């Protein structure tokens, strides 16, 4: 292999590694914690109450990769979720049990509760890469 071809290949490799290192999961705004169970997509339950996923709903795993709703049927997952304008569940972030335990009771409806909930979300999502 010619030496002049190694330099662009090495630069491309370094750029790829740098881009991957910069991917940080950001804390979602206006979310609520719940236990989600997918019964038969798009039918779900949130904390035991029947609900529905919106068309095009996105479920993100702990590694920030998309999870298909059919692959988690019957599992009770700790999550934070956001609704769309029609009131359907549109975005879901799966949490670990430890993360869910930390945020589950943080938001008590008071301004301090909202602030504490936002701080915990930023802490949780800031440590994930």
Let me know if residue 5 belongs to a domain.
no
Report the 10 Å Cβ neighbour count for 62.
13
| pLDDT higher than 60, residue 93 | yes
Residue 104 or residue 58, greater confidence: 58
Query: Partners of 38 in the beta sheet?
Result: 44, 73
| Structure token digits, residue 2 | 């010619």
Percent of the chain scoring above 70 in pLDDT: 78
Let me know if residue 9 belongs to a domain.
no
Number of domains in the chain: 1
Do 29 and 128 form a contact (C-beta atoms < 8 A)? Answer: no
Do 95 and 79 form a contact (C-beta atoms < 8 A)? Answer: yes
Let me know if residue 24 belongs to a domain.
no
Let me know if residue 56 belongs to a domain.
yes
Stretch 83-100: mean pLDDT: 94
| pLDDT higher than 90, residue 119 | no
| pLDDT higher than 80, residue 49 | yes
pLDDT digits (tens, 9 = 90+) for 68-88: 999 999 999 999 999 999 999
- The pTM assigned to this predicted structure is 0.75
SS3 39: strand
Query: What's the gap between Cα 77 and its chain centre?
Result: 12
pLDDT of residue 42: 96
Let me know if residue 7 belongs to a domain.
no
- Which residue bears the tokens 């549109």? 90
């Amino acid at each position: 292999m010619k030496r002049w071809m190694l330099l662009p290949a090495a630069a491309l490799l370094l750029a790829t590694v740098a881009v991957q290192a910069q991917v940080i999961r950001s804390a979602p705004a206006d979310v609520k914690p719940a236990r989600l169970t997918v019964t038969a997509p798009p039918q779900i339950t949130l904390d035991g109450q029947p609900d529905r996923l919106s068309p095009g709903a996105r479920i993100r795993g702990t590694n920030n990769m998309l999870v298909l709703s059919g692959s988690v049927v019957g599992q009770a997952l700790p999550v934070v979720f956001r609704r769309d304008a029609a009131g359907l569940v549109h975005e879901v972030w799966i949490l670990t049990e430890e993360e869910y335990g930390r945020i589950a009771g943080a938001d008590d409806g008071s301004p301090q509760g909202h602030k504490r909930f936002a701080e915990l979300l930023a802490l949780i999502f800031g440590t994930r890469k």
